[in-house]
Amino acid sequence: MVSQMPHLAVALFLLSFSFLAYLYTIHLSDNKVTLVWLIQGGQNDKLTDKRLAYNSAKHEDQSTNRSDRTDLISSNNGCTMAPESRFDCGRDRLLSREECEARGCCYAPLATSAGPPWCFYPHPYPGYRMGPLTPTIWGQAATLTRDTPSYLPKDISTLSLDVREENSGTLHLTLKDPSSQRYEVNLPAESSQREAETKNVLYITEFLSDPFGFVVRRKANGKVIVNTTVAPLLFADQYLQLSTSLASSFVSGLGEHYTPLILDLNWTSLTLWNRDMAPHADANLYGSHPFYIVQEQDGLAHGVFLLNSNAIEVILQPTPALTWVSTGGILDLYIFLGPDSQSVIRQYLHIIGYPMMPPYWSLGFHLCRWGYTTTNTTRKVAQNMHRANFPMDVQWNDLDYANKRRIFTFDPWRFGDLPEMVEEFHKRGMKYILILDPGISSTSPPGTYPPFDDGLRRGVFIKNATGNILIGKVWPGPTAFPDFTNPEARRWWEDCIRDFHSKVPVDGLWIDMNEPSNFVQGSVEGCPDSDLENPPYTPRVVGGHLNSGTLCMSAQQQISTHYNLHNLYGLTEAYATHSALVRILRKRPFVLSRSSYPGIGRFSGVWTGDVRSDWEQLQFSIPAILQLSMFGVPLVGADICGFGGNTTEELCVRWMQLGAFYPFMRNHNDKPNAPQEPYVFGQKAQAAMRSALNLRYSLLPFLYTLFHHAHASAETVARPLFIEFPSDPNCQDIDKQFLWGSSLLISPVLEQGAVELAAYLPAGTWYSLHNGQPFYSKGQYLLLSAPLDNISVHVREGHIVPQQEPALTTTASRTNPFFLTVALSAGGWAWGDLFWDDGDSLDTFEMQNYCYVIFIAGQSQIVSDPVKLNGALDGLVLGGLRVFGVPSPPRYVLANGEKVRDFTYRTDTKVLTVTGLLLPMSEVFTVQWAL
């Protein structure tokens, strides 16, 4: 009997499959469906038309009115579906049963109003009908028509579909109105290049002609990546809707929101509408990134990007499925096939642009507070930091410096010697940054405030619907807002920065309040009553209106209305500021922006806004930073110790330890709060913070090399574990640990009072960066000791980490000896690299003006290979190295063939430490150990 079980199982399976096929045939025969299959294998492949016709009731006449449609739907079983498979037919407004059924939708109440919709689409639901696909210069095109309008106002009955194979891993589909020009996003100075080679595409695309939908499959395994046939396409003037199934429930992205790394699909919604709003749950925050990554299975992943700048709501449901709803523009969809997460990010950045290379000094420690009220106060802060032996590179000032809070001025009494203070910082090897808000004070007497006078003369400010300058209210009072889509405004902005820099030689600029934020709704005069201010559908935004906390939607910018351009405001300001600094400084710019949109990483870093000083916000800063890293913004950090509220000593120590591994590290505090500079705490806390800072500064050569790879190859700096270990299911949702590149695993303490933590170590050998103690993991959680003076950092076997002796500034540390941390694999090998240039010149990689050194360990030796040299490493030496995983005590050590006296070996941790070396970094060197 046992031996017959497999045969019985096969028979049952075949019987079940036959029954399902029969049911599917019945379904198709009840609803005559035409399928058009587009087999993607290159642009010249033939189009195969398969029409699956069955003897069935004839198609509903296209002139059928809505009541007829209701009768048709109620007479079939299209409403029978699991609640989690329902797609909301009343997303635009709450519907009664009568209103729902008048739309031809199903109405089936549930026990609770939360969760699945009561009014939902039957399957299928009448929609657009697709005409034949025809070849174009870039791909294929078709026309979509609907004879019966949808239930939406200003419905668009004819659409054009454009299908392009951008490259082998990227499919690009657009849907737009061919008869009317609608706003389309053009990213500033777009640099992505279309790749001509598309023969070995990773996808197959199938089109359903009536009602229109499309399915994208992974060619390698047939996995459905996108399937829009699950719900109807809607396209009206101010309401665009597209739904798709999801390949799994492991979805990340769609920022900026206060969420875990893996999004909750249990009937949640996320609104993309930039807003000045301190991070908290269920709110639209400072940035909008309509891009997501789905982890599939077997290490595969894909991504989807909707290039649309209007207000967007994304509805997530446990089907698993997702619905995009946009209030305008077009549907401009990119699908990235990876096949792994890192490849998805690279494909995405190929479209929006690779990130800029930051100046080396910007990777040091930054200190800021709103409340450094004078230059003397600011000086003392920087002096106290260095007197207490805390490394710090950059001193900042918030708006305290500005005369009457007007940008491009400084207070003549409290900051009268600001230029001298900045020069003092420069002489000490430090840098200086201050804040610029976009709002320009409009109430100064004529002739007394050139930024406004000149801007008025040059026509650079956003106008209201009547053509007059729109006046809002921000920190200086009534303000006008520059229109950075206007080339003249960008030139004016550069002139303002140039004039101010000639007086105060700042090293970078912090652009805040650029959602843009407004303390009144719309303008001081209110906003007109129009469809832009009160659209038929408003996503769930803080304040309930699109103009809440920002400008009127009807405000006029050069290329469109603010309704279309709002989410781009911070990006356009970052572009203008970056471009201005390039021309003024002739060095690599530093810009930090609060608001963000895809592509901002090319021009600016981003911080996560006004976080609170509490343990939950400490924890949520990790997924926030990892998400922005995946969005192409590697230079990202959170305000260390928190911006809002009073920190505690323990919280601030733990935040400094975590913050030492933010790619961008800044401690920032609000006016009314207790001070949180590292030197104000007790000696034990200071020692722990100093240790964290010194560790960061020692790792800056490694971090800088990671930024080079981000800039040149679209790799991530702060990296979720699932990207590096895609086949390990335990890594899929980890967001309390993260990686630097592929080499370092950071496991911070995130809970009050904790002195140990459970950290997941993927399979392999991991060495404590602190002392080289090995941990042999099978892919498991280990309980690690975590006293207050320690942060758990582990080096992955097979990796070499270049480091440098720390100092109080990067100006000093860059001249110190290097040392290498070598983490040998079980086979005794390891690899690492170093990118090095002068730290702030423009385009060093593009101009081939840099050094690049590879380090290889194997067969009891480590060898350097200077692949490229330009003089930047001249005079710098390797002072020592640590080798983790040396199996037995070496009999002797040789450096370039000469015996080395200064070496030690610990038998308990199997660590070889070599010191006293003076090997030129610009030359080949070999260090050997004889076992």
Written as one letter, the residue type at 404 is K
- How far is 385 from 368, CA to CA, in rounded Å? 12
- How far is 613 from 651, CA to CA, in rounded Å? 8
Asked if 340 is an active-site residue, the reply is no
Query: What tokens does 617 get?
Result: 């916000």
φ/ψ of residue 752, rounded to 5:
-65, 135
Determine the 3-state secondary structure of 230 from DSSP. helix
- How far is 291 from 335, CA to CA, in rounded Å? 10
Q: Over the range 34-73, which residues count as b (16 or more CB within 10 Å of their CB) and which as e?
A: bbbebebeebeeeeeeeeeeeeeeeebeeebeeeebbebb
CB count in 10 Å sphere of residue 30: 15
Question: CA triplet 815, 816, 821: central angle to 5 degrees?
Answer: 130
Q: Which of 257, 173, 175 is nearest to 215 (CA)?
A: 173
- How far is 620 from 736, CA to CA, in rounded Å? 8
Catalytic site residue from 206, 515, 670, 837: 515
- How far is 143 from 593, CA to CA, in rounded Å? 41
Contacts of 439 (CB under 8 A, 6+ apart): 472, 474, 475, 476, 479, 480, 481, 513, 516, 517, 518
**Residue 734 CB-density burial (10 A; 0-12 exposed, 13-18 middle, 19+ buried):** buried
Give the pairing of strands 321-326 and 239-245: antiparallel
CA atoms within 13 A on the CB side of 889: 7
Determine the 3-state secondary structure of 569 from DSSP. helix
Catalytic site residue from 206, 256, 512, 724: 512
- How far is 698 from 802, CA to CA, in rounded Å? 9
Asked if 512 is an active-site residue, the reply is yes
- How far is 600 from 319, CA to CA, in rounded Å? 33
Angle between the N-to-C axes of helices 375-387 and 418-427, in degrees from 0 to 180, rounded to the nearest 10? 20
Strand partners, 717: none
Whole-angstrom CA distances from 187 to 473, 569, 600 are 29, 12, 9
Query: What tokens does 194 get?
Result: 């279309």
Instruction: Find the helix or strand (DSSP H, E) in which 690 lies.
Output: helix 683-698
φ/ψ of residue 218, rounded to 5:
-75, 125
CA 605 to chain centre: 11
Instruction: Check: CB of residue 726 under 8 Å from CB of residue 301.
Output: yes
Q: Which of 273, 821, 880 is nearest to 567 (CA)?
A: 273
ω before 802 within 30° of 0 (cis)? no
- How far is 867 from 869, CA to CA, in rounded Å? 7
3-state secondary structure 724-769: HCCCCHHHCCCCCCEEECCCEEEECCCCCCCCEEEEEECCEEEEEC
Angle between the N-to-C axes of helices 700-713 and 683-698, in degrees from 0 to 180, rounded to the nearest 10? 50
- How far is 83 from 74, CA to CA, in rounded Å? 17
Give the pairing of strands 129-130 and 139-145: antiparallel
Query: What tokens does 482 get?
Result: 């520059």
Q: Which of 639, 635, 680 is nearest to 658 (CA)?
A: 639
- How far is 659 from 636, CA to CA, in rounded Å? 11
Active site residues: 512, 515
